[in-house]
Amino acid sequence: MEADIVVVGAGAAGLPAAIVAREAGASVIVVEAEADIGGHAITSGGNVPLGGGTSVQKKYGIGDSPDILFKDLTDWSVVEPNGFPDYRYNDHEIIRAFADNSAPTFEFLLSHGVVFADRAPDQRGGGAVGNSVPREMHAVPVDWPLVQTGAPAAPEERLTFSTGNGLMRPLEAAARKAGVEILLEHRLTALHREGIRSGRVTGIAATHGGDSLNINARTAVILATGGSTGNVEFRRMFDPRLTEEYCGLAGMPWSNQDASGEIAGMEVGAALWGLFNQSGEFGATITKPGRIGTQYGYVNLHWQPGSKVFHKARATGLRVSDWQNVILVNMLGKRFYDETGRQFTANNYNVIRPYVHGHYLNAKNIRYEPNNWLNAAMAGIGDGKNGGGPIWAIFDSAAVAREKWQTKPPHVDTEAGFFYEAGTIEELAAKITMKYQRVPMPPENLAATVALYNNFVVDGVDSDFGKPKPLYTIEKPPFYAAWSTPVIHDTRAGLRINAKCQVVDMRGAVIPGLYCAGESAGGFSAHGLGRATCQGFIAGHAATG
Ligand SMILES: Cc1cc2nc3c(=O)[nH]c(=O)nc-3n(C[C@H](O)[C@H](O)[C@H](O)COP(=O)(O)OP(=O)(O)OC[C@H]3O[C@@H](n4cnc5c(N)ncnc54)[C@H](O)[C@@H]3O)c2cc1C
């Protein structure tokens, strides 16, 4: 097969790139590894941070411009509520390109069928998208079925519910209408380049149903493969703690982030870029699970039996409304932190008040939240291995009643070992034998932990970790253990690119014919859809310009 442009990945970056390139007159093939388009973007909350003076910002009297956006995203003086400075490590060339193309990308989405909730931009769903003005817009599903349920949204929510389904299905329709060829279940395995480390990138190697094939790219290949956090070996280059038990990637099991784009790029000489943005502890890069008893516990992604990937998700999970209802223990059956503690924090509109661009007092005006539930959860347990191992929520039937949980499949995943029930605490500990539990949980440890915690409840004081007034004893059988291990979310480091999204090698030279956009590209610390759609837009133009 052959096309002018080969786009790898049909997600938030890939589809805009494909549409732009096709509308510029190029023939375009998109290869997508999964059985459907959308990537993490279709599972997302559809909160789209694009600004710099969009038509909607103007409509609501919000003064924004490319310069304000650029200054926001490169402001050295801004720190997160946990003290980490996430804009300080952004590559200014890449941010300038984003700032200049952000509003045009938004208008491109509008003109290609994406419907946004008819209200003023706000700050909902953002993370590192600038402090000075609201930029979040919310894609709505209209009548598209939701991948999470298999059904359309409720009639009263079709124009208000923010969801990635409302972003990606219209883009798919626009791509097909424009004549983009989309090859599903085609997985990139390598890039072809004229020389090993020289010359132009000429196409890709892919697999499809067990067969290997090559697709030639007459002009360019655009990598839009969505990041690397699903690849244990790759992600541990940035954070050695992230061993295999962190298996509940947000966005899975719809699609993975297996670093295949990054690795293919590196094999033809590409450099990585902006690596602090991955290991800096901010935003949703790693999150506390919001649903327990399931492998895929990301708080905002609720798989339900009608979904066509439910056989892979296996359970809906139990939504925790009050962390007072459980204690969390590590592999050894020991508590490690206040269960109500929060995760890494995120910078966003109005987090710093008052805020003056580049002012050294900005850091003083932030409300610090030096929370470290995640660091405590991922701390080693002393068995000589990296990674903290599974975290288990332990609770009794009284907690089940308070939370109105249902403790049978499909609500919980008993078959794959993400949920256990037993008549005594000791039996419960002995039952936990799943593959990531690399040491047995000593029953006497869990019994002692529960007994001590029950004493804390009676005394009204958690003298180990300071949980605010522990409320409920754990004493009414049956007892339960539910998977509650941290969830990995965004990739914020990837291949080195320049302002045109051209991939750059380790000597600082552009690799001719190779582009990268979205979470597989480095140098830009921000949560999600804004940078991905915008870089797809940039790459599509640059590759055909
Ligand atoms: C549950 C969830 C909620 C989110 N909510 C928001 C939100 O509200 N707002 C926001 O701004 N961001 C949000 N995000 C983040 C946002 O969805 C991502 O940042 C964005 O989708 C990244 O775009 P991308 O194109 O880089 O990757 P993706 O959208 O993931 O697309 C990558 C595509 O490449 C494909 N692919 C990967 N490897 C290969 C290969 N070797 N060959 C062929 N195809 C391949 C994948 O299958 C996938 O379809 C959310 C993410 C998740 C998971």
Joined together, the tokens standing for residue 372 give 């470290």
Q: Could you read off the pLDDT tens digit of each residue along the chain, which spans 545 residues? A: 999 999 999 999 999 999 999 999 999 999 999 999 999 999 999 999 999 999 999 999 999 999 999 999 999 999 988 888 989 999 999 999 999 999 999 999 999 999 999 999 999 998 899 999 999 999 999 999 999 999 999 999 999 999 999 999 999 999 999 999 999 999 999 999 999 899 999 999 999 999 999 999 999 999 999 999 999 999 999 999 999 999 999 999 999 999 999 999 999 999 999 999 999 998 889 999 999 999 999 999 999 999 999 999 999 999 999 999 999 999 999 999 999 998 998 888 988 989 999 999 998 988 888 768 999 999 989 999 999 999 999 999 999 999 999 999 999 999 999 999 999 999 999 999 999 999 999 999 999 999 999 999 999 999 999 999 999 999 999 999 999 999 999 999 999 999 999 999 999 999 999 999 999 999 999 999 999 999 999 999 999 99
pLDDT of residue 142: 98
31 lines ligand 1 (CB under 6 A): yes
> Based on the domain organization, do 277 and 293 belong to the same domain?
no
CA–CA gap between residue 387 and residue 390 (Å, rounded): 9
226 lines ligand 1 (CB under 6 A): yes
pLDDT of residue 254: 98
> Based on the domain organization, do 311 and 233 belong to the same domain?
no
Tell me how far the alpha carbon of residue 179 is from its chain's centroid.
30
33 lines ligand 1 (CB under 6 A): yes
pLDDT of residue 328: 98
> Based on the domain organization, do 314 and 453 belong to the same domain?
yes
519 lines ligand 1 (CB under 6 A): yes
Phi-psi region of 314 (alpha: psi -120 to 50; beta: other; left: phi over 0): left
> Cα of 189 to ligand 1 centre, how many Å?
18
Q: Within a domain: residue 376?
A: no
> Based on the domain organization, do 91 and 189 belong to the same domain?
yes
Pocket test for ligand 1, best of 146, 225, 531 (most atoms within 8 A of CB): 225
> Based on the domain organization, do 473 and 495 belong to the same domain?
no
From the alpha carbon of 250, which atom of ligand 1 is closest? 53
> 6 forms bridges with which residues in the sheet?
29, 221
Question: Residue with the nearest Cα to atom 52 of ligand 1?
Answer: 44
> Cα of 185 to ligand 1 centre, how many Å?
16
> Cα of 39 to ligand 1 centre, how many Å?
4
* CATH number for position 410: 3.90.700.10
List the domain range (segments joined by +) for residue 306: 289-340+392-483
> Cα of 462 to ligand 1 centre, how many Å?
40
47 lines ligand 1 (CB under 6 A): yes
CA distances for 250 relative to 119, 261, 440, angstroms: 28, 19, 27
CA–CA gap between residue 63 and residue 68 (Å, rounded): 9
> Based on the domain organization, do 469 and 416 belong to the same domain?
yes
User: What does residue 445 show for φ and ψ, rounded to 5 degrees?
Assistant: -65, -50
> Based on the domain organization, do 531 and 434 belong to the same domain?
no
Q: How many other β-carbons are positioned within 10 Å of the β-carbon of residue 545?
A: 9
Q: Within a domain: residue 379?
A: no
> Cα of 530 to ligand 1 centre, how many Å?
12
> Cα of 144 to ligand 1 centre, how many Å?
19
249 lines ligand 1 (CB under 6 A): no
Amino acid (one-letter) located at 328: L
> Cα of 225 to ligand 1 centre, how many Å?
8
8 lines ligand 1 (CB under 6 A): yes
What is the three-class DSSP state of 511? Answer: strand
CB 99 within 8 A of CB 66: yes
What is the three-class DSSP state of 138? Answer: strand
CB 220 within 8 A of CB 543: yes
CA–CA gap between residue 223 and residue 520 (Å, rounded): 8
CB 291 within 8 A of CB 320: yes
CA–CA gap between residue 285 and residue 235 (Å, rounded): 12
Question: Residue with the nearest Cα to atom 48 of ligand 1?
Answer: 39
> Cα of 226 to ligand 1 centre, how many Å?
5
CA–CA gap between residue 497 and residue 95 (Å, rounded): 11
From the alpha carbon of 168, which atom of ligand 1 is closest? 29
**What is the radius of gyration, based on Cα positions, of the chain?**
24
Number of compact structural domains in the chain: 2
> Based on the domain organization, do 407 and 274 belong to the same domain?
no
Domain end call among 439, 459, 483: 483
Tell me the whole-structure pTM to 2 decimals.
0.98
CA–CA gap between residue 368 and residue 370 (Å, rounded): 6
CB 32 within 8 A of CB 9: yes
125 lines ligand 1 (CB under 6 A): yes
250 lines ligand 1 (CB under 6 A): yes
Q: Within a domain: residue 367?
A: no
CA–CA gap between residue 266 and residue 260 (Å, rounded): 10
Phi-psi region of 43 (alpha: psi -120 to 50; beta: other; left: phi over 0): alpha
148 lines ligand 1 (CB under 6 A): no
From the alpha carbon of 187, which atom of ligand 1 is closest? 42
> Cα of 49 to ligand 1 centre, how many Å?
15
> Cα of 455 to ligand 1 centre, how many Å?
46
> Based on the domain organization, do 435 and 540 belong to the same domain?
no
> Based on the domain organization, do 321 and 221 belong to the same domain?
no
Q: How many other β-carbons are positioned within 10 Å of the β-carbon of residue 25?
A: 8
Question: Residue with the nearest Cα to atom 15 of ligand 1?
Answer: 528
Secondary structure tally for the chain: helices H, strands E: 15, 20
Secondary structure E strands in 320-403: 327-329, 392-396
* CATH number for position 536: 3.50.50.60
CA–CA gap between residue 62 and residue 18 (Å, rounded): 31
> Based on the domain organization, do 170 and 249 belong to the same domain?
yes
CB 367 within 8 A of CB 354: no
Amino acid (one-letter) located at 531: R
265 lines ligand 1 (CB under 6 A): no
**Which of 221, 106, 173, 264 is CA-nearest to residue 544?**
221
12 lines ligand 1 (CB under 6 A): yes
45 lines ligand 1 (CB under 6 A): yes
32 lines ligand 1 (CB under 6 A): yes
Tell me how far the alpha carbon of residue 487 is from its chain's centroid.
9
> Based on the domain organization, do 470 and 493 belong to the same domain?
no
pLDDT of residue 505: 98
From the alpha carbon of 260, which atom of ligand 1 is closest? 41
Secondary structure E strands in 9-102: 28-31, 47-49
Joined together, the tokens standing for residue 142 give 């209209």
Give the distance between the most distant pair of CA atoms in the chain.
Answer: 73
Q: Within a domain: residue 354?
A: no
166 lines ligand 1 (CB under 6 A): no
Domain end call among 483, 518, 533: 483
What is the three-class DSSP state of 10? Answer: coil
Q: Is 357 exposed, middle or buried (0-12, 13-18, 19+ CB in 10 A)?
A: middle
Q: Within a domain: residue 353?
A: no
Q: Within a domain: residue 507?
A: yes
Domain end call among 483, 501, 535: 483
Amino acid (one-letter) located at 441: M
**Which of 301, 377, 370 is CA-nearest to residue 79?**
370
Pocket test for ligand 1, best of 497, 529, 537, 538 (most atoms within 8 A of CB): 529
Q: Within a domain: residue 348?
A: no
Residue 46 half-sphere exposure toward CB, CA atoms < 13 A: 29
pLDDT of residue 347: 86
259 lines ligand 1 (CB under 6 A): no
pLDDT of residue 81: 87
Q: Within a domain: residue 511?
A: yes
Joined together, the tokens standing for residue 112 give 């290609």
From the alpha carbon of 536, which atom of ligand 1 is closest? 25
From the alpha carbon of 125, which atom of ligand 1 is closest? 8
From the alpha carbon of 13, which atom of ligand 1 is closest? 25
CA–CA gap between residue 402 and residue 377 (Å, rounded): 25
